[in-house]
Amino acid sequence: MTQIERHSFDVVVMGAGGAGLRAAIEARMMGKSVAIVTKSLLGKAHTVMAEGGAAAAMGNVNSKDNWQVHFVDTMRGGKFLNNYRMAELHAKESPDRVWELETYGALFDRTKDGKISQRNFGGHEYPRLAHVGDRTGLELIRTMQQKIISLQQDDEREFGDGEKFIKVFAECSVQEIFTKDGAVTGCMGYFRETGDFIAFDTAAIVLATGGIGKAYRVTSNSWEYTGDGHALAMRAGGSLVNMEFLQFHPTGMVWPPSVKGILVTESVRGDGGVLKNSEGKRFMFDYVPDVFRKQYAETEEEADRWYTDADNNRRPPELLPRDEVARAINSEVKAGRGTPNGGVYLDIASRLPAEQILKRLPSMYHQFKELADVDITKEAMEVGPTCHYVMGGVETIPDTCASPYVKGLFAAGEVGGGMHGSNRLGGNSLSDLLVFGRRAGLGAAEYLDSRGGAAVAIDEADLQAAVDAALAPLNATDGENPYTIHHDLQTVMGDLVGIIRNADEVKDAIVKLDALKARAKNVSVAGDRVFNPGWHLALDLTNLLLISESVAKAALIREESRGGHTRDDFPTMDPKWRQVNLICKSDGTAVEVTQQPVPTIPTELLSLFDRAELKKYMTEEELTALPEEKN
Amino acid sequence: MTSGTLSPGRARITARTLRTDKYWISPLLTVIGITAWITYATVRVFQQNYYWAAQGGDEAIRYLTPFYSPCISNGCIEGAAEWGTFLPDLWFIPYAALTLPFLFLFRFTCYYYRKAYYRSFWQSPTACAVNEPHKKYSGESRFPLLGQNSHRYFFYIAALISIINTIDAFHSFQSEDGSWGVGVGSIVLTANVILLWAYTASCHSCRHIMGGRLTNFSKHPLRYKGWTFVSKLNGKHQELAWTTLASLVVADFYVMAVAAGWITDFNTF
Amino acid sequence: MGYKAKFRVYRGDGEQGGLENYEVDVNEGEVVLDIIHRLQATQTPDLAVRWNCKAGKCGSCSAEVNGKPRLLCMTRMSTFDENETITVTPMRAFPVIRDLVTNVSFNYTKARQIPAFAPPTDIKAGDYRMQQIDVERSQEFRKCIECFLCQDTCHVVRDHEENKESFAGPRFFIRAAELDMHPLDARTDRKSFAKAEQGLGMCNITKCCTDVCPEHIKITDNAIIPMKERVVDTKYDPVVFIGKILRRKPRETGKI
């Protein structure tokens, strides 16, 4: 039998991004022992890529801001499909979570009176994003990493062992979660460095594994984003919600190939950058939807005046919401008016003098200069939509982040679902991971207290079966190359379940995914277990396939267009569909999607909106059931 | 070899470096530059001649080379010895023996020169990612290199000496009888003094004293301004270190050439 | 456009291994990491390399290219001649696990040894007030992406394994400076810790750390030298020393 390193912890946190670290901190502060299991080295998680900031209604820059406004903005951004309770908790608790980081040593940019500075961002009514230049995510992750060290130092002093209560297992992938009678008993995984197996006996697991971007070829996400937490939750008996909603950022780099998908910040357009097709036409004027017609300029002259006089002119159409711009670019490329590398041109060089560009967009200048050898003060950038964020995720009970189906299973951050509805606002993900990271840690601790101290243990036969499954690709010979299957999967998802979807294409995708699943069973890998990337990919494929199937199946069922889900054949939003959440469950081989009512928003929260606004989202029945207009 | 980059567990690569660029040029130039400068300075300091350029019927110009300032040896020419003389006139005592050692130590303990000579003369390291030839290394943590920490005192003294150099430059605009004028020499000496001040003020210790040691700049706005200014200069410390070596030689050579009568100073006196 | 490049890549672990030659396709606009990935996908599926964001933001793909410590994702192929052989090795200051992947636990150990930020006891969360000019110096050091290239290039440990015990390295000198310059950190022993526990005095300021920093942090000028000067304040400055004896103040100066 294969040697397996065995550990026992109160809580195992999967993932060391912002949500995972915050959960670990909370669980430790509640007196629990915590293992942090991360696929990368500590401090490398995808959270470092977040630039904009963490949204929290602290009111430091505009004192009119408060949690109610933040709640309204979030619901509006998610097109009312958000889990209202999550949005409420998030809006209420974000300020405390950000302030708390300062006590851990974070250094945010400051206002004149010494408070945390806040910046404007799309969809937020007031300046709301706490930030550190354009590296806020790095600040968050480093701060929490250092807080963990701080807790370990306390333990070292008190117990003589810094790793008694928090131990980090770096470069370690979890492969399987084990349950017994609907409750978590542990998990197993392997060290990427050595290929050695490891198993944890634990009653509580917090999933904080991030997103699923690696199902798409063009993505701003790193290799880690293979939907591990999503898939493990389903395989353990949990459920996913809102999986059809994916956020595509309209402007990712498309050239050079090495950086395809890396984000080009919205500020480029905010500062005057315009989108042009291969014919040199500023095409966004052709893509202003009727509902936005009044707010957006109709001529280039008017649009250009807006940059200097925003009060008396309408906004340039380049500043339409993310999903609109992404769709427009997509259409231009499909119509054959794209650049040679399959994007469109984002031109700031001909719009602003070089020194202005350098002053306003220093990090973009460096990004293009250093990664692409493109001087954005002289040439146009090539950009295209890139898969950025999955709104869908593990279904949880908002206050505790606990799965309603699997006892002892918790989820926070991008892997959690519901908070952002059909579309996430920029800045809400960093605050999301702080608020729900803490709540997941707390939820796990409370669950452990409630179940008493009874020991849990993984069933040995289950463990052995998981090990055998993990070793299968290495033992197989003459099977398929995992890189090829991954490549094909990305093609299916990108071409058929991308930004714009329709029933035929998605059905086609589901058939193709089935075939890929069959091929993935026959994958084989050369070499041994020591840091073998081919083997790692082979194991990740299982998760990616299960998640891709969830996205495709949910996308087929939702017959409307809303936020991060656009159907060619159902181009408008349908209030009836607002009442429905699509829930994915799986026995580990196939995905079942069921419909479930969206939780009813309580009157006191609904009263924060104008009736006129609610009309856009709600059915006649819902509207008549509402109390009279507030005054 | 089982230490350094071949310590147990590290990649089994025996090459001292895999760098393909000419990494040895920079340390080589440093050695050549510093050796040449020290040779020149040594010769001049012990020459005890041609340091005072007085020219014209009534000694209209008065140029004193910085290598002999202040001239405090009994051997000094009367006009050059502005601060009195008390050192015995012996061949092995430079005429500015009171200040030269401190100027030397100021530069010897300077954070930039330390980098330059550690990398070149001491080969520790020769260049980045090139193995150094030493078996043991303790850096500046022990005697005698612990003494590098005294840099700030030499900075204070160097600043005082810069005042003397400034007075010399000032005098170069005035003839013996008190009338004002300007000559090539006065411009050379002034340029040298400005550069010396820039080098001295750009010193890392100066930056620390000016404001670097504070935690809350906002409570000391004037010192913050000073620190910001010195920080800007400090960014040019390396360039100033080399430029002042050159300007010292130029100033000294010019005074020597005039004093020896090799050239005639153009001036308005 | 495309061409075949000659690569020499370290294959092996810390016991045995050496440089192996490859010929591999290169397309316009690629970086060294792309080429390593192409080797993985086409010739040597088990070639080990550590990477994450591929945009110079996470600091995972640290290695040495033609002998120089670099991030593989930030080394453009266009900076090399087409007929040049490009040598890629793991960082040579750390034990190698396999191929280009090194064991960087030395750095995590050192990170755990620095006393954490000590929050002021008399200020509640939410009431922290700091001026931008007071946090800017520390913010520069917090740009660090922990690629550990500075630790790799530093000759104090690169060339002297035995110094690893007593020397924390540039990455942790900037951490020390960051905390010492933090307007609200309540600890006052950062300087003596840097000297006694981190081995600040072993640094001979030869600036290789600054040269390799992909974030362009001025490690030597803005962190190490100011820390050395701050240590001088407390340890070697007789004027300060005598002043303190006369005023009977503790040896460490507090926040000023």
Q: First CA to last CA across chain B, in angstroms?
A: 70
Question: What count of residues does chain A have?
Answer: 631
Q: A409 — phi, psi (to 5°)?
A: -110, 125
Unique residue bearing structure tokens 């006129």:
A612
The DSSP secondary structure of A460-490, one letter per residue, reads: HHHHHHHHHHHHHHHH--S-B-HHHHHHHHH
Report B:117-176 residues touching C (Cβ under 8 A): 118-119, 124-125, 128-132, 134, 136-142, 145-146, 149-152
Q: Is-contact A326 A498, C-beta < 8 A? A: no
Q: How far apart are CA C209 and CA C216, in angstroms?
A: 10
Terminal C-alpha separation, chain C: 59
> Which CB contacts under 8 angstroms, 24+ apart, belong to A125-128?
A125/A65, A125/A69, A125/A72, A125/A73, A126/A57, A126/A59, A126/A61, A126/A62, A126/A64, A126/A65, A126/A69, A127/A61, A127/A62, A127/A65, A128/A55, A128/A56, A128/A57, A128/A58, A128/A65, A128/A70, A128/A427
C83 plus C145 within the same structural domain: no
Q: Is C117 on the interface with A (CB under 8 A)?
A: yes
Sheet strands (E) in C68-190: 68-71, 85-89, 96-98, 101-102
Size of chain C, expressed as the number of residues it contains = 256
CB A531 within 8 A of CB C97: yes
Whether C227 and C161 have beta carbons less than 8 Å apart is answered as no
Partners of residue A275 on adjacent β-strands = A346
Q: Cα B120 to chain center, whole Å? A: 18
- C130 assigned to some structural domain: yes
Question: Is A46 an active-site residue?
Answer: no
- Left if phi > 0, otherwise alpha if psi is -120 to 50, otherwise beta: which for B177? alpha
Q: What is the CA radius of gyration of chain C?
A: 22
- For residue A302, the distance in angstroms to the closest alpha carbon of chain C comes to 37
Q: C95 and C110 share a domain?
A: no
CA nearest to B128 within chain C: C208
* C76 plus C176 within the same structural domain: no
Q: In this structure, what DSSP letter does residue A279 have?
A: T
Cα A59 from chain centroid? 26
Identify which of A99, A193, A527 has the shortest CB distance to residue C126. Answer: A99
Domain interval for residue C96? 3-102
Note whether C64 and C149 are same-domain residues.
Answer: no
Backbone angles phi, psi at C4, to 5 degrees: -95, 125
Count of all residues that appear for chain B in the document = 269
3-state secondary structure of A387: strand
Which CATH number goes with the domain that contains C96?
3.10.20.30
Assigned domain for C235 exists = yes
Q: How many CB pairs under 8 A join B and C?
A: 173
Per-residue pLDDT of chain C (256 residues; tens, 9 = 90+): 689 999 999 999 999 999 999 999 999 888 999 999 999 888 888 899 999 988 889 999 999 999 999 999 999 999 999 999 999 999 999 999 999 999 999 999 999 999 999 999 999 999 999 999 999 999 999 999 999 999 999 999 999 999 999 999 999 999 999 999 999 999 999 999 999 999 999 999 999 999 999 999 999 999 999 999 999 988 777 666 676 677 655 544 455 5
Task: Kindly identify which residue of chain C lies nearest to residue B221, measuring between CA atoms.
Answer: C133
- Partner-chain residue, chosen from A109, A139, A257, that has the shortest CB–CB distance to C29: A257
Q: Is residue C254 domain-resident?
A: no
Look at C145 and A193 and tell me if their CB atoms are within 8 Å.
Answer: no
DSSP state letters, C44-81: -TT-----S-SSSSS---EEEETTEEEEGGG-BGGGS-
**C96 and C174 share one domain:** no
Asked if C129 and C172 sit in the same domain, the reply is: yes
Q: Answer yes or no: are the C-beta atoms of A41 and C97 closer than 8 Å.
A: no
The answer to whether residues A30 and A441 touch, using CB atoms and an 8 Å cutoff, is yes
Q: Is residue C251 part of a domain?
A: no
Q: Note whether residue C150 is domain-resident.
A: yes
Domain limits, chain B? 23-259
* CA distance to partner chain C, nearest, from residue B194 (Å): 23
pLDDT band at residue B118 using 50, 70 and 90 as cut-offs: very high
What confidence score (pLDDT) does residue C255 get? Answer: 59
pLDDT of residue B267: 86
Please state, in angstroms and rounded to a whole number, the distance separating the CA atoms of residues A249 and A327: 10
Structural domain includes residue C212: yes
Decide if B137 and C159 are in contact by the 8 Å CB cutoff: yes
Before A597, cis peptide (omega within 30)?
no
From the list A373, A375, A359, the residue with the least C-alpha distance to A272 is A359
**Domains: count for chain C:** 2
Mean pLDDT to the nearest integer, B87-101? 95
Nearest to C175 by CA among C205, C202, C151, C211: C151
- Chain A residues in contact with C41 (beta carbon < 8 A): 483
Interface residue C186 vs chain A (CB under 8 A): no
Strand A4-8 and strand A197-201: the pairing is parallel
Tens-digit pLDDT profile for residues C101-155? 999 999 999 999 999 999 999 999 999 999 999 999 999 999 999 999 999 999 9
Q: Pick left, alpha or beta for residue B48 (phi over 0 → left; psi -120 to 50 → alpha; otherwise beta).
A: left
Match 């299957």 to its residue by tokens: A485
How far apart (Å, rounded) are the C-alpha atoms in residues C130 and A116? 9
Last residue of a domain, one of C61, C86, C102: C102
Q: Which residues of C61-100 are buried (b: 16+ CB within 10 A; e: fewer)?
A: bbbbbbbbbbbbbbbbbeebeeeeebbbbbbbbbbbbbbb
Strand pairing of A344-347 and A381-390?
Answer: antiparallel
Instruction: Write down which residue in C46, C75, C102 finishes a domain.
Output: C102
Chain A residue at shortest CA distance from C132: A110
Q: Is A249 a catalytic residue?
A: yes
Residue A433: CB atoms within 10 Å: 34
The residue of chain A with its CA nearest to that of C35 is: A258
Which residues lie below 8 Å from residue C156, measured CB to CB, with a gap of 6+? Answer: B137, B139, C163, C167, C169, C199, C202, C203, C204
Question: ipTM value of the model?
Answer: 0.93
Residues C129 and C167 grouped into a single domain: yes
Binding-face residues of A in 363-392 toward C, CB within 8 A: 367, 370-373
d(CA B107, CA A38): 50
pLDDT at residue number A631: 42
Distances in whole angstroms, Cα of residue B86 to Cα of each of B76, B89, C159: 10, 9, 51
- AA identity, residue C82: E
Q: Is C43 on the interface with A (CB under 8 A)?
A: no
User: What local confidence, expressed as pLDDT, does residue C247 receive?
Assistant: 66
Predicted confidence at residue C240, as pLDDT, reads 67
Which chain C positions have a beta carbon within 8 Å of A40's beta carbon? 52, 58, 60
DSSP type of residue A600: P
Window 110-129 of A, Cβ < 8 Å to C: 110, 113-115, 117
Give residue B82's pLDDT. Answer: 87
Of C45, C97, C146, the CB nearest to A527: C45
Task: Give A311 to chain C, closest Cα distance, Å.
Answer: 31
At A196, which helix (H) or strand (E)? none
Q: Between A and C, how many residue pairs show a Cβ–Cβ distance under 8 A?
A: 167
Instruction: List Cα–Cα distances, A603 to A84, A596, A630, in angstroms.
Output: 11, 21, 11
Answer with the one of C52, C85, C102 that is the final residue of a domain: C102
Per-residue pLDDT at A489:
97
* Alpha carbons within 13 A on the beta-carbon side of B13: 32
Contact B11 C89 (CB under 8 A): yes
Q: Is the CA virtual torsion A88, A90, A93, A94 positive or negative?
A: negative
CB–CB of C52 and A222 under 8 A? yes
Q: Which residues in chain A land under pLDDT 50?
A: 630-631
- Element containing residue B266 per DSSP (H, E): none
Same domain, C121 and C237: yes
CATH classification of the domain holding C171? 1.10.1060.10
The answer to whether residues C86 and C208 belong to one domain is no
In this predicted structure, what is the pLDDT of residue C118? 97
Residues C59 and C72 in one domain: yes
With a CB cutoff of 8 Å and minimum separation 6, the contacts of C232 are B149, B151, B152
Do C187 and C142 share a structural domain? yes
Q: For the residues of A603-623, what is the DSSP string, one character each?
A: HHHHTTS-HHHHHHHS-HHHH
Rounded to whole angstroms, how far apart are CA atoms A358 and C189? 41
